[in-house]
Structure 1
Amino acid sequence: MTGTRIAISLTSIEHLTGGDVGGVLEFARKADAAGVDQLTVSEHVAMGREVIGYPYGAYPSTVDADWYEPIAMLSAVAAVTQRTRLSSSILIAPLRPAVLLAKQLATVDHLSNGRLEIGIGTGWQKAEYDGCGVPFEGRTVLLDEQVRAMQALWSNAPARFAGRRIAFEGLYSLPYPRQSGGVPVWFGIAPGPTNIARMAELGAGWIPWFGLPSGNGGGHTHREQALEQIADGRAHIHAALEALGRDPRQFGIRVMPEPAMGTHGYDLAATIAAAHDYVAAGATHLEFAPGLFCRDLSELDEALAAILTLQGGGS
């Protein structure tokens, strides 16, 4: 991958459109026409009443916030865009049966003419798992088996897979994704040794996440720690890729630069000014959520144009 690529999160745009999803799709259309490299959607299937277990400090939203289901949302985005890649940031994959998820993703890949790159992870709230009837413990093992099972379904008919949590034999799940080899999978997981090996073997990219600033100070230290973790994770992932004979230049790292705090909320200009540090640390894709920086719809076009000034630059 050469040059910095720009990902734009559609999450929170609905706050600027009065909850009108049509306005979100119109912005997606504009972003596609402007040359954005990726459009992303975040998720929670459901939220418990208490924010328990969030690992990145103060939870930056509320439990009653709007969250569109990413697969359905990306289907709609696919219909109104032509060239930009589509992704999630992140889809909590273990909340969904692997065989169904494989079919859903293959379908969206066809609807988008082969533009889907799914970002997956395990989430953090136990109440969400309890509500979906999925065990919270062992969710990372389940995530690993899901990817392997989906890749089997995307490449063989009939397909078979035998894991601890997922097992099937003689299944036909057609059509395969439009992209040869299946839908590229990006992992939103911590870069420990087991996860690094998992990403090197199965992944097309890594989506590190460090949370959003709470406005209570310590932002500089938090940002410096994030940059160090990106650089360290990149070095270990690249070494693991090379050990498997994979080209690290084909592996993406998508990072959302920490929004800088201004007098009246998040400061987009200051955030853009500091974004090059993330590229220097190893990010191939910079992800921005314009909805965090804009007070109304009239500011979106200008914000998008400012973010795109970062596109294509190197470290």
Structure 2
Amino acid sequence: MSTDVQLSIGLPNFGSWPAGDWRGFTDVGRAADDAGIDRIVLVDHVVMGPNTQNYSWGRFPTPPEADWPEPLTLLAAIAAVTSRVRLATGILVAPLRGAALLAKTAATLDQLSGGRLELGVATGWQREEYDAAGIDWDNRGRLLTDTLAACKALWTDLPASFASETVNFTDAYCAPRPVQPGGVPLWIGGTLNTRNLARIVRSGDGWIPIMGLSTADMARDVARIRTALADAGRDPGALRVQGPLPLVKDDAGRFDLSRTMAGAAEVIAAGATAVHLPIQVFCAGPEGAPAFFAEARKAFDKVVSGV
């Protein structure tokens, strides 16, 4: 089994997990770094509307009035107290941020972190965010496609020019550029429909499967993406995939880390390059994070080594 597969942990930058003190998230990030966790992943909502029942993937985790700190700002704070853990979003609602500003913000954070940023991006599910930002909800897919391609241009060309239906600029100087060659890696989130497949082929470095997708279906879709990349002259072996671990409970009905981690081999075999699980189902708050990270690292290494 490949030793290049990463252990990816989702941190709940929402609700009440950190007991209202978001500065404490820097301690959680440092604990992940110290424990050898490969990636930490934050989520995004710019504003929340009242209709959380429109969330399609189960019960929404918070009421609309709950805290949702901006993830890139929070990752910048974590970057200042860490040195190796990769800093990711999963997902960032990219169309809510203008392409030029997103490119500059991400490049700055990549510089500050020493080249550790990864952007998981998608359109999001909530119309109210687009309304609040004055952005056409019905045009969100086109805007995502153009925003990602424009960011790639701004990260690689100096000056950069770009023309599309929704984003246009000529001789734009966006500096500093990211540390990482080719720019900040873009992991496209969502169902592998025709449009998302085209985005991955054009601008993506990775894929974040939609919540609830089975491991078998993930394997099928990974094969489809790799074929499309090869057909486009890109290296299919370079594709990155965030593979969620199916969560398993013990006999008492509590989520069990060791039983859950036992499924990592199957997820890796399906094409995951980053095996992902959320911290909050295993520990109630930040005080339990160091012990959780140490246990998760040990359990993951055991699976990967084939022991």
Alignment TM-score > 0.5, same fold: yes
Counterpart position of 1:203: 204
Displacement after TM superposition at 1:104 (Å) = 0.4
Secondary structure, counterpart of 2:106 in structure 1: helix
Check whether the contact 2:28–2:286 (CA below 8 A) recurs between aligned residues: no
Query: In 2 relative to 1, CA 183–298 (structure 1 residues): closer, same or farther, beyond 3 Å?
Result: closer
Asked if structure 2 preserves the Cα contact closer than 8 Å seen for 1:9 and 1:290, the reply is yes
Is the CA contact 1:114–1:179 (under 8 Å) kept in the aligned structure 2? yes
Q: For the Cα contact (< 8 Å) 1:12–1:291, is it kept in 2?
A: no
Is the counterpart of residue 38 in structure 1 residue 78 in structure 2? no
Whether the 8 Å contact between 1:3 and 1:314 is mirrored in structure 2 is no
Residue-pair matches, total: 302
Aligned partner of 1:239 in structure 2 is 227
Whole-angstrom CA distance in 2 between matches of 1:233 and 1:314: 26
> How much does 1:281 deviate?
1.8
Runs of 4+ in 1 over 6 A off after TM superposition: none
More displaced, 99-108 or 7-16?
7-16
Structure 2 CA distance, aligned partners of 1:125 and 1:25? 29
Distance 1:110 1:3, change over 3 A: closer
Task: Kindly provide the CA deviation profile for residues 89-111 of structure 1, in whole angstroms up to 9, marking residues without a partner as x.
Answer: 11000001111111000100110
CA drift at 1:199: 0.7
Shift of 1:55: 2.6
Q: Distance in 2 between matches of 1:310 and 1:65?
A: 32
2:281 aligned partner, one-letter code: L
2:187 is paired with a residue whose SS is strand
Is the 1:11–1:291 contact (alpha carbons within 8 Å) kept by the matching residues of 2? Answer: yes
Amino acid in the other structure paired with 2:4: G
**Compared with structure 1, are the counterparts of its residues 76 and 303 closer, same or farther at alpha carbon in structure 2 (3 Å cutoff)?**
same
Partner SS state of residue 52, structure 2:
coil
Aligned residue number for residue 96 of structure 2: 95
Mark the CA change 1:238 to 1:310 in structure 2 (over 3 Å): closer, same or farther. Answer: same
Tell me by how many angstroms 1:62 deviates. Answer: 2.8
One-letter amino acid of the counterpart of residue 144, structure 2 = L
1:10: Cα distance to partner? 2.1
How far does residue 166 in structure 1 lie from its aligned partner after superposition? 0.9
Q: Check if 1:228 corresponds to 2:195.
A: no
Using the size of structure 2 for normalisation, the TM-score is 0.90
- Structure 1 segment 69-88 matched on structure 2, within 5 A: 69-88=70-89
**Residue 266 of structure 2 is aligned to residue 277 of structure 1:** yes
1:21 and 2:11 correspond: no
Partner of 2:54, secondary structure, is coil
For normalisation by structure 1, the TM-score amounts to 0.88
Deviation at 1:264, TM superposition (A): 5.2
Counterpart selection for 1:257 from 235, 245, 249: 245
Provide the C-alpha distance between the structure 1 equivalents of 2:225 and 2:17, rounded to a whole number of angstroms.
38
Which runs of 5 or more structure 2 residues have no equivalent in the other structure?
A: none
Amino acid at match of 2:293: L
What percentage of residue pairs aligned between the two structures are identical? Answer: 38
Amino acid at match of 2:111: H
SS of 1:154's equivalent in the other structure is helix
Q: Is the 8 A contact 2:13 2:43 kept in 1?
A: no
Displacement of 1:196 in angstroms is: 1.6
Q: Is the 8 A contact 1:189 1:207 kept in 2?
A: yes
